[in-house]
Structure formats: structure tokens, C-alpha cells
A and B are shown apart, each in its own frame.
Chain A
Amino acid sequence: MRAIVIALRSLSREWRYGELAVLLLSLSVAVGALTGVGFLVDRINRSIALQASEVLAADIRVQSPRPLSADNEPMARQLGLRTARLTTLLSAVFHGDVNQLTNIRMVTDGYPLRGTVTVADTPFAPGTVTRQIPAPGQAWADSKLAAALGVKIGDNITVGARELRLDRILISRPDQGSAFQEFSASLLMNEADLASTQLIQPASQVRHALLIAGERPQLNAFRDWHAQQAGQRERMADVSEDSPQIGDATRRAGRFLGLASLVAILLCAVAVAMSARSYVRRHLDAVALMKTLGASRAFVLTVSVTQLLLLALAATALGSVMGWITQSWLISALQGLLRTDLPPAGLQPMLIGLLVAVAMLAGFALPSLLQMTRVPALRVLRRDVGPPTPGAWAAVTPAVVAVIVVVYGTLGDAVLSGWFVGALAAATLILGGAGWGLVSFTAHSRGGSGVAWRYGIASLARRRVESVTQIVAFGLGIMLLLVLATLRRDLVTDWRASIPANIPNYFFVNIPSGEQEEFRARLTAQGGKVERMLPMVRGRLVTINDRDAHAVSSSGGPAGPDDGPPQRGGMADREQNLTWSSELGDDNRIVAGQWWQPGDEGKPLVSLATEFQEELGLKLGDRLGFDIAGERITVTVASFREVKWDSFKPNFFIVFPPGLLDGAAGTYMTSALFEPSSPGEMTDFVRRFPTVSVFDVGSLLAQVRSMIDKAVTAVQSVFVFTLLAGLTVLLAAVQASRDERSYETAVLRVLGAQRGMIVRSVLTEFSALGLLAGTLAASGAAFGGFMLARQLELNYRFNLTFWLLGVLGTVAIVGFTGWVATRSVLNHPPRSALS
């Protein structure tokens, strides 16, 4: 307790000596980098959990293409759960002569069980929340449908054999995803009208769903009960099993940003170690005195550890504020990629920040403090007596353990952590070696250019270890920022410029069968350059070599008698777009097997894109069974194709020979280079073909570019912490050399040096440091850009202006910071430093 009182009292007084301020700053930057990423990932994760239940519009959704078991709903209700039914199908909706292919959704009272529906009186207006559903005989069309049909509230529309009155405009519903089908228009109506539409026919593509919501124990009870029902083939989607794709993406993004923040954290750890060493050096006398006055080793240690823990707490608070600001900035930088209404973050990232701060102190500061407590009391009489030299293991082991704890704790993956530490160690060694060489070289070039220059360079060379440490710290931070800037400025721009001007800029999907030639003719007449027109049917891969495809792909087992490469699920789980074609486009290249030969027409063969082959581990001769609109066909893999997707021409993973699926023709798709002469031209065109969905490639590309831009901005924001960490290392180094600098400045002043000369020598020292760090960083970034360009198969051009900016920018930052950090030393009167 006494130790804590003394620790508290002296903490504020210690402030003016600077080491604690640098310690606090280093820890805060580390915590800021960590929590900035932590808060963001936490908010996204919470949003995913929330979104998942909204996407389902329920906690659990039981669905099937067949009518659901009649036992489900009574069981759910018996368990005290809320339920609603949802039946969906794709069909045309008519108003007079106009029709539109529509996703028709028939619901019962209570829909949606999670999330909200908003409605309005006019299309594209802001919606208001409603808790109701359309009454029988009424329907709510979404804005797209209303616009396409040209209807307003009160008009009648025809759905199958039933006429309904348009009652509201549907602005949003929770279960509107971004899946392909959802691009179509949608209509919400009451399930009571289902039978009278007569839309449910034996071959119609209808999906039945039971929505369930309630408390988790009851939901689990329902799940268990449902799983035990014999012979049930109903699929269950549960919000508790978060969407694996979104979850994985967040985890990956989180890890990537985590890696970026780790660089900053470890650099800060270097600053912590430097500050701790200089703190200890200054406290040796005081500790010897305390021991002379009767303090035990434990007491001295308690005082220091208490101060450090208080610092860790303060740094967590300060760092978390920095982290919070950072994540707000990241969210605004990632606008468009993330929802704007993310739920607030929890406190867990702060707690992790505190743990990391404590781990950094334990690994990088505690060994020095333990050493300090071993200083003998005799030092009060003999200043040459210091603490015994620690063993190499005792000094290094805690730091190594702390690095492992911090890295593994942040990444949560042993292999990735190993790679990261290895790569960082290699980069540090290379930068350190190069830095050492440059400092040595510079040291030899100090003659002949005046006292200030000579003295500045001599300072740089004399504190060689500190100089190289600063060069590595700055070099690493600035290099990472420059690599990303290169990526954004050069590579992405180059990539966009590399796309030829005459490639298609529009995709057209859902062109009705029979209208494809008219569509082509009209578009060509309006100046469009139309590419090949391919039929498109939906189908699901159901068997691979006569075994259940889902079981084969999800078990990771072999697709056939011979073991193939490891397999993953996905391709076998979802409906695919299928096509047939006699021609092999010039953007396709056969890499195995043969394209259709004369006489292959109508034969049960298939040609697959290499991506599909790789995902399912298929080989030539494998037999694939497809379910196409309820019909089963089995085909043999005849060839694999490498597809140049960026030709922006219609392409499919799965292509059959002509003559095999002719009866199943659904719709057609194509792409075209088309420059509408007026904005209304495309609208008129779409109105002529209302079922056709149009995708503007130009805007999609712009979207991709903006996404890359945003992602790079986010990573760069995290790397700004690396730069800050470099600054803390510089401050720590200046702090450590403070007494020495005061003394040297005083001697120079006593010998008659003008203040200007001393300032020039300091500027020389730090500018030279910045020059060396900047040269290394800019050259490393150029090399990194070259490697990245090779990896991405892009052309890399060395940009001298960019290189020079990198070097000069670093000189300016390091020179200025060094001058600011040493200013107080320069202002020290010579008498006080020498007394």
C-alpha cells in the first residue's frame, strides 16, 4: 500500500522527465492501432449477426421446393415460437399489355418476424415502416415493378389467373439480398390469394418457407425435433450459424488489418523498451537511495510496476479514444462497402488493448525494471556501482514471449503468426543491415563540410544502434505506406487504362426466348455492337460419378475412384446458370480434352471452366448429373476451358453441346458495346423488353475501382499508426540520449558554439537519418511495387517523382520531429548541464 501511495505521488512528478510520456505515447499508439481495427471488426461482426436474422426475416427458416411438412408449424407454436409462411415463385405480372417477370412473394400475418417492411404511396419515395401485410385481394409492388408496368396505387394488376388491386408501393423488405434473382422486380401479396392465382403447377419453380422466431432454447428444441423427423428433405437456415461467406470475409479482412496494426504495435514495443531503459538509467540513484533508506527490492519493484500499470490503464483509455476515432474514419472511408447503421462496438477490443499494453510492458519494460531493483545501495557512495549485467536469456526471453503473445493474440492463427514474425524479422534484418551499412558509409563522409555537418553526422554514427533502430522503424512504416500508395496510384490506374476501349459496356440478361433476334436487331439498329447471344437455363449439379454431389463436395472426399485434389463446397450447393453453344469463343481456350467435334450435337457431354474443375476436383471423363427444371440428365466431362472473363462477353462455367437442352430454353443473355445517344434511349429500350435486366459494366467497373480504393485507404489508415510508431521510436531515442545531448550542447556552448550552429548540427543529424530511412523505404517500396505488379500480371514503371517524394517526405518528417524533440535540450543553459 505504501508502495502504491509513493508510486501515485511520484508518477505526476516523473512526467517532466519525458520517458513516461514517451512510454504512454508508445502504448497509446499500439492500443490505438489495435482497437481501431478491433472496434471496426467487432461492429461488423455484430452487424452480421443482426443482418443474418434480417436476411432470413426470422431466426430460423425451414424451406423446400416441395410443400413443407404439416407438422412443422403446430410444433413450433407448441414450443411457444412465432411463425409465418412465405411462398415465392418467379412469374410474369401483367397490367394491360405490359408484363414484367417478377419475384412474387406470398405471406401470412406476422411477416416479417425479424426486420421491417417499409412502404410508400409512390415509387422510389422514402418508405415508412408497416407492421401489416397486404390484405387478400391487394398487392404491394416494389418501385421497379410499378415503374416497369406503369401502374399507380389503385390500379389493377394480374398475377396468374387472379386480379389484384395495387394498394401500396413496397420500398424495402428485410429479406432482399443481393443474390442474382433479387435483381428482378418483386411483389408482396397475401397467401390467401395463392390458390386463386393458379400459379402453382407441377413444373413451376416455387419455394415454400416457414419462418420461425423466438427464444434460443425453444429454437434449439425445434431444431432438434426437426432434425429427427424421418425422411425430411427440408433445408433449415439458422441465424446462429452465421453466414459462412460473410463471416469468413470479415475474419480475413480483420486479420489483414490486424497484421497491419501489428507492425505498429511491435515498433511501439521497441519504443517502450528504449524508454524503459532510459527510465531505469535515470532511476538507479533514486533506487539506491531508497534501498539505503530501507526499501526492499520488492518495494522498489512494486512502486515501478504500479506506475507502469497505471500507465497501461491511461494508455488504454487514450489509445481506445484514438482507436474509436480511427474506426469512425475507417467506416467513413469504407462507405458503400459497409452498412452505415452498424451497431455500436462492445468493450472487448478495449480489454484486449489493455492486455496488449500490459504484455508489451511485461515483455519490454519489466526486464529493465527488474534489473533496476538489483542496483546495490552502495551506489549512493560509489556512482560507478550499477546493477549486475543480466544474462542474455533473462533480457530477451520476456520480449520474445510478449511478441508471441501479442502476435498470436491478435491473429489467433499459429501458422499465420509464424509467417508474420518470420517476415517481419527478415524485413527488420534486411532494413537493419542496409541501415547499418548506410550509417557506416555516412560516417566516413563527414569531413570537410563545416562543424555543424561534422558534428551532426558524428552524432548519428556514434549512437549507431539507436540510429539503425530509428531507420528500421521509420523505414518500415514509410515503406508500407508507399507500397500501398504505389498499388493505388500506379497499379489500379494502369489496370483501368489497360482495359481496351471497345469492349462491351452493357450486359443484358433475361432476354425472353423467341425475342432474342428482335432484341439483337433493335440494339444493332440503335448503334449497339452486340456480342454472341447465349441461352441460359438454371440447373443444379446433383451427382458426381453417380454419388450425391453435395456429400462429395462437402465431405472433401474424392469425386471418383481416383483421388482428386482437395475439394470444397459451394459450386455443388447452389443453382448454376447453364448454357449450350456450338462455337468456342476466342476468349476461351481448351486446356484439356476437346471442344465439340462434328457429330457431338445432342450428345451428353459438358465443357467446364477451369475454376469449376478446380473447386470440385474434377477430371476428364467424370460423369455429372444435373437437375434442370425437375429433369435429370447425366453428362460426361469432355473438356476444360480457361476463360478470359475480362473480355466482358457472355461466358459460363458450364457449357453443353447444342441439341441437348434445346427443350429447356429459358432466356438468353448477351453483352454489347452501346453508347445511348440520350439518357432516355436506354429506358425506352428497356421498356420495349421489360423482362430484360441491364447491367452497366462501366458503373460496375467504377464500383470495383472504388472498392479497391476504399480498401487501400482503410489499410493505409492503419499503416498511419506504423508511421506514428516510428515517431515514438524517434522520441524514445532522443529521450534516451537527452542527458548526453544536454552535456554535449553545454560543452559546445562553453567552447563558444553559437545556438545556430547547434541547431544546424541537430538538423543535419536528423535529416541524414530521414534521408537514410527514406532511401531505404522508397527503394523497398519500389521493389515491393515491382513484385506486386509481377504477381498481378501488370506492368510496373518505376516512378522517379514518387521515389523522390518518398525520400524527401521522410527527410522532412524525421528532420522536423528530431528538431522539435531536441529543442528543450538546446535551450538548456550550459551551466545547469555541467553542474
Chain B
Amino acid sequence: MTRDIVLKAENITREVSSPEGLLTIVRDVSFHIESRETVAIVGPSGAGKSTLLAMLAGLDLPTSGRISLAGQDLTTLDEDGRARLRAEKVGFVFQSFHLIPSLTALENVMLPLELAGRSDARQLSADMLARVGLASRTGHYPRQLSGGEQQRVALARASVSRPAVLFADEPTGNLDMATGERITQLLFELNADSSTTLVLVTHDRSIATRCGRVLTMENGGLR
């Protein structure tokens, strides 16, 4: 059975200027990811994992090469065009949670649905918070939640719109081991529930091994 290709990188390179001259962070990387695949990007610090993830999600553009996400060439879209595509197709989980401090847990989860113009945002979000075990904390602000709870809210926010691709950047990096383990479990459960493609960057070998495929980066290139 062939599956659709949701993410395709073709010869992407990312260079930045630094006091020492032009620095190549990602060098001529090509690969593709099919729908419902789970892919881990691993590698040592400074290997270019996060920069690659940023480009795959359309947060940053390659200096050269092409990236297509859900059939759309990201390099031809302007910033608002890429934002629109993310609203429709992408979910994101960050190492430092990135919840909006002035919004409650429920409102944080509602945000992507509201940005996509969904009228049932409140109900779907409440259901999703219940799914991650936070039914009783919907009215709490991020500062009133523990790190693990905040990351569960972030997971709920990333999954609630049933994105085509869920990106995760070191999702357990700021959590203790036990909490990290529970979050990882939840991440894969949610992914399985919604048949989403999962692309995650991690240092954690145990998480990487739970993925269907592992891409290892070294010095800006894929090994």
C-alpha cells in the first residue's frame, strides 16, 4: 500500500552570516515523509536538527532547495501564506511549552481552532483537555500548572485541530524523567488516535526508538 507524501525536502541548505563568515547549518538535505509516519530527527547539539524542523514547519526558509508540505511548496509562499498552511495542516509542541500566559488552559487549546474559524472550538478543546487528563484544570492559567501539565495542554493544543503533521521539538526536554515518560506516552497515543504524521526532534534515544523511522543529523547533513 502506498501512502501519500506529506512532507518532502529537496536539496535544502540553510546558511546564516556570522562574525566568522557564512555558516552552513543545514547542508543539502533531501528526504520525504509519508502520511501517518512517525519520524525522529536525532543528532548531537549543533547538528542542525531544530533548524531543519523550523524549515519543515515553514517557520524558516531554506537558503536553497525546496520543501513541500501537504503538496504546497513552502518556498513559494509568503509569511502569511505559510501561516495559513500551518493553521490548516500543522500542529506544534515545544520544549518550553510556549503557552500564552494570559489565556487559560482551555483558551490556549481553543486558539488554533479559532484561528481556523471553527465554531465548535470550545467543545472540541474541552474534550481534548479531558483526553489529556486535565478536565478539572480548564480554567487554570499556565502559571498555575506544573511543567508536565503545561506540556499536556500544549499537546492538546497541537492535536485538537487534527493536523496533517505534528511537529515536536524536544517535547520532554524541560521535564523530569517520569513526567517525560508520561508525556511521550500521551504524544504517541494522540498521534495514533488521529492518524497524524509525527516529526519530532529529540536527544532522547528511548523516544526515537518508538518512532517508525529515525533520521540522524551530523554537521548539518543526514547520515
Give me the interface of A with B, judged by CB distance under 8 Å: 2, 5-6, 9-10, 13-14, 17, 285-286, 289-299, 376-378, 380-382
Residue of B nearest to A12 (CB): B102
Least CB distance from B107 to A in Å reads: 7
Structural contact, B98 and A294, CB atoms closer than 8 A: no
Closest to A16 in B: B102
B98/A380 in contact, CB under 8 A: yes
Cβ-defined contact, A294 with B112, below 8 A? yes
**B114 near A2 (CB under 8 angstroms)?**
yes
Contacts of B59 in A (CB 8 A): 292, 376-378, 380-381
Q: Which residues B46-76 have CB closer than 8 A to chain A?
A: 50, 53-54, 57-60
Q: Which of chain A's residues has its CB closest to B89's CB?
A: A294
What residue in chain B is nearest A5 (Cβ atoms)?
A: B114
- Chain A residues with CB below 8 A from B54, complex form: 378, 381-382
Q: Is B4 an interface residue (CB 8 A)?
A: no
**Top 9 closest A-B pairs, CB basis?**
A294-B87, A13-B102, A296-B80, A294-B86, A377-B59, A378-B59, A378-B60, A293-B112, A294-B115
Contact A299 B115 (CB under 8 A): yes
Q: Is the CB of B115 within 8 A of A293?
A: yes
CA–CA, A293 and B82, complex, Å: 10
Residues in A whose Cβ lies below 8 Å from that of B169:
381
B83 touches A289 (CB 8 A): no
Residues of A within 8 A of B53 (CB): 381
Chain B residues near A294 (CB-CB < 8 A):
83-88, 90, 112, 115-116
Residues of A within 8 A of B111 (CB): 6, 290, 293
Most buried by A among B53, B103, B169: B103
Q: Cβ of A296: which chain B residues have Cβ within 8 Å of it?
A: 80, 83-84
CB pair A10 B102 closer than 8 Å: yes
- B19 beta carbon closer than 8 Å to chain A: no
Would B115 and A376 count as touching, CB distance under 8 A? no
**A295 and B87 within 8 A (CB):** yes
Is there contact, CB below 8 Å, between B115 and A2? yes
How far apart are B154's CB and chain A's nearest CB, in angstroms? Answer: 10
Contact B87 A9 (CB under 8 A): no
Rounded to whole angstroms, the CA-CA distance of A152 and B57 in the bound complex is 101
Q: How far is the CB of B123 from chain A (nearest CB, A)?
A: 16
Instruction: Tell me, rounded to whole Å, the shortest Cβ–Cβ distance linking A290 to chain B.
Output: 7
The answer, yes or no, to whether B100 is at the interface (CB within 8 Å) is: yes
B79 at the A interface (CB under 8 A): yes
Nearest neighbor of B107 in chain A, beta-carbon distance = A9
Q: What's the least CB distance linking A378 to chain B, in Å?
A: 5
Q: Residue on A with the closest CB to B95?
A: A381
New contact pairs (19) apart from A10-B102, A286-B100, CB-CB < 8 Å: A5-B114, A13-B102, A14-B102, A286-B102, A292-B86, A293-B86, A293-B87, A293-B111, A294-B90, A294-B116, A295-B115, A296-B84, A297-B79, A298-B80, A377-B59, A377-B79, A377-B82, A381-B59, A382-B50
Contacts of B112 in A (CB 8 A): 293-294
Quick one: closest A residue to B90, CB to CB? A294
Complex contacts, B115 vs chain A, CB 8 Å:
2, 290, 293-295, 299
Report how far A380 CA is from B86 CA in the complex, Å.
14
- For the complex formed, measure the closest distance between the CB of B104 and the CB atoms of chain A, giving whole angstroms: 8
* Complex A-B: 27 CB contacts under 8 Å: A2-B117, A9-B107, A13-B102, A13-B141, A285-B98, A286-B101, A289-B100, A290-B100, A292-B98, A293-B86, A293-B87, A293-B112, A294-B85, A295-B87, A295-B115, A296-B84, A299-B115, A376-B59, A376-B60, A377-B82, A377-B83, A380-B59, A380-B94, A381-B50, A381-B59, A381-B94, A381-B169
Complex Cα spacing A695 to B79, Å:
82
The answer for the CA separation of A286 and B101 in the assembled complex, in Å, is: 9
Bound: A376/B107 CA distance, A: 23
Residues in chain B near residue A2, CB distance under 8 A: 114-115, 117
Q: Complex formed: what's the CA distance from A545 to B173 in Å?
A: 100
Q: Which residues of B contact A380 (CB under 8 A)?
A: 59, 92, 94, 98
The CA-CA distance from A201 to B90 in the complex, in Å, is 104
> How far apart are the CA atoms of A153 and B117 in the complex, in Å?
86
Which B residues touch A298, using CB under 8 A? 80
Interface pair A289/B88, CB less than 8 Å apart: no
B92 and A292 form a contact (CB under 8 A):
yes
Identify which of B50, B59, B94 gathers the most chain A CB atoms within 10 Å of its CB.
B59
Residue of B nearest to A293 (CB): B112
CB distance from B146 to the nearest CB of A (A): 12
CB distance from B216 to the nearest CB of A (A): 20
From residue B120, how far is it (CB to closest CB) to chain A in Å?
A: 14
Asked whether, in the complex, the Cβ of A297 is within 8 Å of the Cβ of B103, the reply is no
CB distance from A231 to the nearest CB of B (A): 78
A5 to B157 CA separation, bound complex (whole angstroms): 18
Q: What is the CB-to-nearest-CB distance from B16 to chain A, in angstroms, rounded to a whole number?
A: 10
| Interchain CB contact (< 8 A) of A297 among B50, B57, B80, B157 | B80
Which residues of chain B have C-beta atoms less than 8 A from A291's C-beta? 79, 83
**Across the interface, which residues of B come within 8 angstroms of A293, CB to CB?**
86-87, 92, 111-112, 115, 157
CB distance from B214 to the nearest CB of A (A): 21
CA distance A293 to B86 in the complex (A): 6
Which residues of A have CB within 8 Å of B107?
9
Closest chain B residue to A10, Cβ basis: B102
Q: In chain B, what residue has the closest Cβ to A14?
A: B102
- In the bound complex, how far is the Cα of B100 from the Cα of A381, in angstroms? 15
Assess the A295–B83 pair: CB atoms within 8 A.
yes
Distance in Å from the Cβ of B148 to the closest Cβ of chain A?
A: 15
Nearest-Cβ distance from residue B201 to partner chain A, whole angstroms: 9
Inter-chain CA distance A408–B116, complex, in Å, is 44
B residues less than 8 Å from A378 (CB atoms):
54, 59-60
Question: How far, in whole Å, are A376 and B90 apart by their CA atoms in the complex?
Answer: 17
How near does chain B come to A346, taking the closest CB pair, in angstroms?
39
| Binary CB contact string for chain B from 100 to 129 against chain A (1 if under 8 A, 0 otherwise) | 111100010001101111000000000000
Which B residues lie within 8 Å of A376 (CB)?
Answer: 59-60, 79
Instruction: Report B98 CB to chain A, min CB distance, Å.
Output: 5
| A42 CB, min distance to chain B CBs, angstroms | 40
Given that A10-B103, A13-B103, A285-B98 are known contacts, is A292 also in contact with B80, CB under 8 Å in the complex? no
How far is the CB of A224 from the nearest CB of chain B, in Å? 63
**B94 contact set on A, CB distance < 8 A:** 380-381
Min distance, Cβ A664 to any Cβ of chain B, angstroms = 86
Min CB distance, A49 to chain B, in Å? 50
CB distance from B188 to the nearest CB of A (A): 22
Tell me how far the C-beta of B82 lies from the nearest C-beta in chain A, rounded to whole angstroms: 8
Interchain CB contact under 8 A, B98 and A289 = yes
Q: How far is the CA of A380 from the CA of B83 in the complex (A)?
A: 14
Complex interface: chain A residues within 8 A of B102 (CB):
10, 13-14, 17, 286
- Of chain B, the residue at the smallest CB distance from A282 is B101
Q: How far is the CB of A375 from chain B (nearest CB, A)?
A: 11
Closest Cβ of chain A: how far from B174's Cβ, in Å? 11
**Smallest CB–CB gap between B41 and chain A, Å?**
13
> How many Å from the CB of B50 to the closest CB on chain A?
5
Q: How far is the CB of A287 from chain B (nearest CB, A)?
A: 10
In the complex, what residue of chain A is closest to B114 when comparing beta carbons?
A2
A9 contact set on B, CB distance < 8 A: 103, 107
Chain B residues within 8 Å of A6, by CB: 111, 114
A628 to nearest B CB, angstroms? Answer: 83
Tell me the nearest residue of chain B to A287, going by C-beta.
Answer: B100
CA distance A377 to B60 in the complex (A): 8
Complex interface bits, B130-152 against A, C-beta within 8 A gives 1, otherwise 0: 00000000000100000000000
Q: Min CB distance, B77 to chain A, in Å?
A: 12
In the complex, A786→B100 CA distance in Å?
57
The residue of chain B having its C-beta at the shortest distance from the C-beta of A385 within the complex is B60
- Chain B proximity of A701: nearest CB distance (Å): 63
Chain A residues in 8 Å Cβ range of B103: 9-10, 13
Residues of B within 8 A of A17 (CB): 102
Q: How far is the CA of A13 from the CA of B107 in the complex (A)?
A: 12
Closest to B170 in A: A381
Give the CA-CA distance A376 to B57 in the complex, in Å.
13
- Chain A CB within 10 Å, residue with most, of B60, B111, B115: B115
Q: Which residues of A contact B88 (CB under 8 A)?
A: 294
A379: nearest chain-B partner, CB-CB: B59
Report the separation of the CA atoms of residues A291 and B87 in the bound assembly, to the nearest whole angstrom: 9
